[in-house]
Amino acid sequence: MRHTLRPLREVWMKVGLEKLDTHEGVTVKALLDSGAMGIFMDKDFVEEWGFKLVKLEKPVEVKNVDGTDNDRGRIEYEIECNMYFEGHVERIRVDVCKLGRIKVILGMPWLAVHNPEIDWEKGEVKMMRCPPWCTQNKERREERKRIKTAEKIVEELVLRRFWKWKKVFRKAESERMLVQKPWDHTIELKEGFVLRKGKVYSLSRDKREEVQAFVEDQLRKGYI
């Protein structure tokens, strides 16, 4: 029996791009293209969102697949920004050129460095094989190290005959919402109390990353 699959022609990633000077961000769909030999961003998109352009010392000629010159002109500028994707964070340099309907292209150099897991049927992308300098890769190593350290501490503090109950001493057991009990109660506010709105303060890039990491950690635990 023959099975006919609907071909998937394009795979996209919904990424966040952050400007280095103002830390303002924008979300955009980036096309994965193994035929592209670089990372590219549409010139009109760059100008619309106000990314800081850096002029190249030597313009880059753009070639078509057949080796002829591209009619959209040379690459004369690049930008540098932070890119976010499902916990993955990296700083990238992007060549600026006319792309038309496509805003961002992640080409073969980026694919080769990060080697993402791609489900071509569903169009899903997972960043599971990043190089050591990627934030997500570093966090995974640190988490594994913390788990091993915690296990060792428990074994040092708890008598061996109690090791079968080691899980109650693990951090993972504490990272969950408590089971509801009959004596749980709500916190009643005083009559006439009105909640006040707090000020919204702008944060630096480092602080924003800390807040994002905190929120993701609370979501993982199920606290929020």
pLDDT digits (tens, 9 = 90+) for 63-102: 655 566 666 678 889 999 988 888 788 888 999 988 888 8
> For residue 143, is it within any domain?
yes
Q: Is the dihedral of CA 103, 109, 113, 116 positive or negative?
A: positive
Q: Which of 51, 107, 103 is nearest to 77 (CA)?
A: 51
> For residue 49, is it within any domain?
yes
CATH code at 66? 2.40.70.10
Question: pLDDT at residue 107 above 70?
Answer: yes
Question: pLDDT at residue 45 above 90?
Answer: yes
Q: Which of 124, 137, 53, 129 is nearest to 95 (CA)?
A: 53
Q: Which of 95, 111, 131 is the last residue of a domain?
A: 131
> For residue 164, is it within any domain?
yes
Q: Which of 96, 112, 131 is the last residue of a domain?
A: 131
Placement of tokens 């006439």 in the chain: 192
> For residue 55, is it within any domain?
yes
pLDDT in tens, 8-24: 568 899 998 988 888 88
104-106/25-32 β-pairing: parallel
* 8 Å CB contact between 13 and 85: yes
Whether pTM > 0.75 for this model: the answer is no
- Residues 28 and 122 reside in one and the same domain: yes
Q: Any idea which of 29-43, 128-142, 157-171, 209-223 has the lowest mean pLDDT?
A: 128-142
Give 207's pLDDT tier (boundaries 50, 70, 90): confident
- Residues 34 and 112 reside in one and the same domain: yes
> For residue 7, is it within any domain?
no
The pLDDT of residue 66: 54
- Give, in order, the Cα–Cα distances in Å from 123 to each of 12, 39, 117, 188: 7, 20, 10, 48
- Residues 48 and 113 reside in one and the same domain: yes
> For residue 145, is it within any domain?
yes
Which residues form the domain of 57? 12-131
Give 139's pLDDT tier (boundaries 50, 70, 90): low
- Residues 82 and 166 reside in one and the same domain: no
Question: pLDDT at residue 220 above 90?
Answer: no
The pLDDT of residue 39: 92
> For residue 188, is it within any domain?
no
Mean pLDDT of 123-152: 70
Give 3's pLDDT tier (boundaries 50, 70, 90): very low
- Residues 112 and 85 reside in one and the same domain: yes
Extract the tokens encoding 133.
């300098």
Mean pLDDT of 138-166: 70
Number of domains in the chain: 2
